[in-house]
Amino acid sequence: MNMSIDPAETPQVVTVSEGFYVRQAVDNIAWIDLGGFAVAVDALEHAELEDEVFEAIASTIGETPVRYMLNTHTHYDHVALNAAFRRRYGAEVIDNRSGGIPAEGRWFEGRRRRAQMIPLGGCHTAEDCIVWIPEDKALFTGDLFGWGLIPTTRPLDASLAQRLTDAYERMIAFDAVTVIPGHGPLCTTAELRRWVEYFGWLRRRCAELCATGAGDEVSKRLILRLEPHGEIVRELSPPEDMLAWWRFVQWKHENSLSKVLQAVRRERLGAQR
Ligand SMILES: [Zn+2]
């Protein structure tokens, strides 16, 4: 990935395999011909993309009806085209807001391939689901993977950190060849593994540096803004191999560091191993 070009600025339809397409942009939408019918995953933020999306679907899978629209979760930037899919195809919109998806997942089976929608809540939202396409070894993570983001808006604490680690362990276990995040470029299982390492490194290093009194000259009031001359911020610059991660250097690393630092300072993370 070339750092100087933001790959999400120019939407493009990526072919995962025959009959399986992702419109990769800031918000991702996918449609997959299961054989006889198709499912779509996530419905974007902007309803005005309706015509463009339906044209892209028609030009790739023709008249194959999109019978289901799977929402990984129901944040506003994943649901805008739900109504359009209902109107155009009579699609059934499926999410886990009511907790109705069984723990072992719900299967959608066509003649050609299958999709499994699996609840993995408690990190980004209570209703998070991932979607697994076994025939293509492709995994939709929704917003659980955010190219360096700690995918939660609640303050980080030990139990949330554990839930995140467990969720990543489950996603990594699929050994997906193609990983499709809710936003930005597609990636692979290697990036999921790298994020777990990064998260552990941030927690460990923040704890070590705070224990030595580093950054104590930085007023706690300023932690959120990551006072630019803080010793900790200087110590924990973005890892070399993650510099090209989507929008990582621009703001995600700083955001993650801030979340971890706050949790460590407030002793919410417990002992670091
Ligand atoms: Zn979200």
pLDDT at 246 over 80: yes
pLDDT at 273 over 80: no
In a domain, 273, yes or no: no
Q: What is the pLDDT of residues 84-94, one digit of tens each?
A: 999 999 999 99
Q: In total, how many domains does the chain have?
A: 1
Instruction: Give the span between the Cα atoms of 71 and 214, in whole angstroms.
Output: 44
Q: What residues flank ion ligand 1 with Cβ within 5 A?
A: 75, 143
In a domain, 1, yes or no: no
| ∠ Cα 236 266 258 (to 5°) | 35
How many Å lie between the centroid of ligand 1 and the Cα of residue 44?
Answer: 11
Q: What is the pTM of this model?
A: 0.93
Is residue 216 very low, low, confident or very high in pLDDT (cuts 50, 70, 90)?
Answer: low
How many Å lie between the centroid of ligand 1 and the Cα of residue 210?
Answer: 31
Structural domain containing residue 139: 12-265
How many Å lie between the centroid of ligand 1 and the Cα of residue 230?
Answer: 31
Q: What is the CATH number of the domain that holds 211?
A: 3.60.15.10
How many Å lie between the centroid of ligand 1 and the Cα of residue 41?
Answer: 14
How many Å lie between the centroid of ligand 1 and the Cα of residue 143?
Answer: 5
In a domain, 204, yes or no: yes
In a domain, 5, yes or no: no
How many Å lie between the centroid of ligand 1 and the Cα of residue 106?
Answer: 21
C-alpha distance from residue 263 to each of 18, 99, 162, 198, 230 (Å): 45, 29, 14, 16, 17
Q: What is the pLDDT of residues 30-55, one digit of tens each?
A: 999 999 999 999 999 999 999 999 99
In a domain, 86, yes or no: yes
Q: Give the residue ranges of DSSP H helices in the chain.
A: 50-61, 82-89, 158-173, 189-211, 231-235, 253-265
In a domain, 195, yes or no: yes
In a domain, 23, yes or no: yes
In a domain, 104, yes or no: yes
Instruction: Give the span between the Cα atoms of 185 and 25, in whole angstroms.
Output: 7
pLDDT at 217 over 70: no
How many Å lie between the centroid of ligand 1 and the Cα of residue 43?
Answer: 12
How many Å lie between the centroid of ligand 1 and the Cα of residue 74?
Answer: 7
Strands 178-181, 138-142: pairing is: parallel
